Structure 1
């Protein structure tokens, strides 16, 4: 039956974030609405997914989505991200999954304050240097340690696979001009950037406000992606070349797709971003955001919205 024109869901009916399917990927199907469920139809039949259970709907190749389906997801506080096959490319996104700007405000505040920005950068590097203390290191020292670490990782995978390695060199305008391993690295990293970009915009953070990288619309995407390259994309690139691939770009994309298919990377990326930006102290959990609107006050605190402040704090001139 048609569900067009049904009223939006009440706040009390919305599911808590932790009770939702965090990311749902669909491809080669028609996405529509049936009552309060999203339907996905392909040549195998129709699947119904309760809209309240979805956090982010990832639309892959061959999908078509109706206006009614988009409206239903919006009513339930979900978002849509248009991606490549298995989510390895980011193309565009709808509204943020976030119901507040808390994450974005925290990101902007931290990136605008030298000491706080450095603290986030140090935490990012510490995630890549298990067991090493980065608290007293400058950005120059951190970059030096990272450079040495990356060179060591390249050498290790070169030895493991037998693939010759000289240095990282690539030209974005001339993909085919690089040697096979640099082509594979570029293809793998591009897939990772797409996945991370989708997570960042779904959470309501800014892809352009980076802590280590800066001045680019995807600076924060590059920051977060660097956390996973040594574990995911670098080994994949060396493996693809070692296997004698004749279509490095396509084979690398498929290998990354298969590696992240279980969704574990998406969940890990969400946790890492929230931890880095909200920075809970003493191991405390990160509180869920509230769907409330408040007013900013120059005294350093917020005040309640939805009331008339006439006569409160008036000054006679």
Structure 2
């Protein structure tokens, strides 16, 4: 069966992502192959959602073309995905998820529904259906503080508060540096998943005003079970340089939490049942219309106006 180029790939139905570093990537037949020393590793790019290129990676133009034609996003990132630099995708995909996200973000009622669902995913036992946003934030603050305290107690690490300065990294204590490093890695993974699924990283619901607002929203769903324990465990292993352990521990916690699969499922839950015919992107795409909202694309409308620009009879 021919592949539908307009259908977004689902992380749960494919290999979620492959991280590669210090390799040469080339095209082979209708797929791609990795060359690492004397080792050649074929990659089933048609079932791969995201190929993450780390340091020391060279990829040919033909390999990029093959990957994008098969619906595989390319992400250029730092070592072990610790940074997100750029991304590219070449398919003619539906903008359905982006349109739905934008609609929910701009509609106050739908916006609040998504916010409540986010907090319900983070705190399943908390009923926030009747709570104001201010009350929800207060409850969130208490629970996040308890997460730090529990991790500190588990690993025997002194803990005061979350405190860091982007402009003065060395002034933070070891735990705060480890937390910042771990969260940075988590943001990269979340951003790759968000892009792969056709959402916008900028249209946030709890966070706003940054190009990564939605990345911060999604990452907050998983910090308590991934980056917080990873950071405290890293400090337990090495209080002077916890950052070098943070990456390995993050990979362990991400794998244990089945993070990429859960991001795909949870994003679906956030916007479930909030779509309608206005966000269904058609094969040719719609055209915006100030009277009807949207009209069919791929249609020549020249017969509707005279040469002078006036409506035709």
- 2:273 corresponds to: 280
Question: In the alignment, which of 57, 62, 79 is matched to residue 56 of structure 2?
Answer: 62
- The yes-or-no answer on 1:88 pairing with 2:85 is no
**CA 98–167 in structure 1, closer or farther in 2 if over 3 Å, else same:** farther
**CA 153–261 in structure 1, closer or farther in 2 if over 3 Å, else same:** closer
- The yes-or-no answer on 1:305 pairing with 2:297 is yes
Cα separation, 1, equivalents of 2:64 and 2:42: 15
Q: TM-score, normalised by structure 2?
A: 0.86
- 2:230 corresponds to: 236
Q: What's the offset of the Cα at 1:290?
A: 6.5
- 1:164 corresponds to: 158
**CA 250–289 in structure 1, closer or farther in 2 if over 3 Å, else same:** farther
Q: How does 1:94-243 map to 2 (within 5 A)?
A: 94-95=88-89, 99-243=93-237
Cα separation, 2, equivalents of 1:62 and 1:258: 23
Instruction: Please say if residues 96 and 202 of structure 1, whose CA atoms lie closer than 8 Å, have aligned partners that are also in contact.
Output: no
**CA 41–15 in structure 1, closer or farther in 2 if over 3 Å, else same:** farther
1:266-311 CA-to-partner distances (Å, cap 9, x unmatched) read: 12112222332x3237xxxxxx987542333445554432233344
1:112-145 CA-to-partner distances (Å, cap 9, x unmatched) read: 1111111111110111111221112221111100
**3-state SS of 1:124 partner:** helix
Cα separation, 1, equivalents of 2:91 and 2:130: 36
Instruction: Please say if residues 6 and 92 of structure 2, whose CA atoms lie closer than 8 Å, have aligned partners that are also in contact.
Output: no
Unpaired stretches in structure 2, ≥5 consecutive residues: 275-279
Cα separation, 2, equivalents of 1:22 and 1:303: 36
- 2:241 corresponds to: 247
1:75-133 CA-to-partner distances (Å, cap 9, x unmatched) read: 22321011223323211111277711111111111111111111111110111111221
Cα separation, 2, equivalents of 1:121 and 1:96: 32
Q: TM-score, normalised by structure 1?
A: 0.85
Instruction: Please say if residues 15 and 53 of structure 1, whose CA atoms lie closer than 8 Å, have aligned partners that are also in contact.
Output: no
1:5-27 CA-to-partner distances (Å, cap 9, x unmatched) read: xxxxx756999835543322222
**3-state SS of 2:76 partner:** strand
**3-state SS of 2:223 partner:** coil
Cα separation, 1, equivalents of 2:243 and 2:209: 28
1:153-173 CA-to-partner distances (Å, cap 9, x unmatched) read: 112122222111111111111
Cα separation, 1, equivalents of 2:119 and 2:126: 9
Question: In the alignment, which of 265, 268, 271 is matched to residue 259 of structure 2?
Answer: 265
**3-state SS of 1:17 partner:** coil
Greater alpha carbon shift after TM alignment, 227-236 vs 156-165 = 156-165
Cα separation, 1, equivalents of 2:24 and 2:41: 11
Cα separation, 2, equivalents of 1:259 and 1:266: 12
Instruction: Please say if residues 99 and 290 of structure 1, whose CA atoms lie closer than 8 Å, have aligned partners that are also in contact.
Output: no
Unpaired stretches in structure 1, ≥5 consecutive residues: 1-9, 282-287
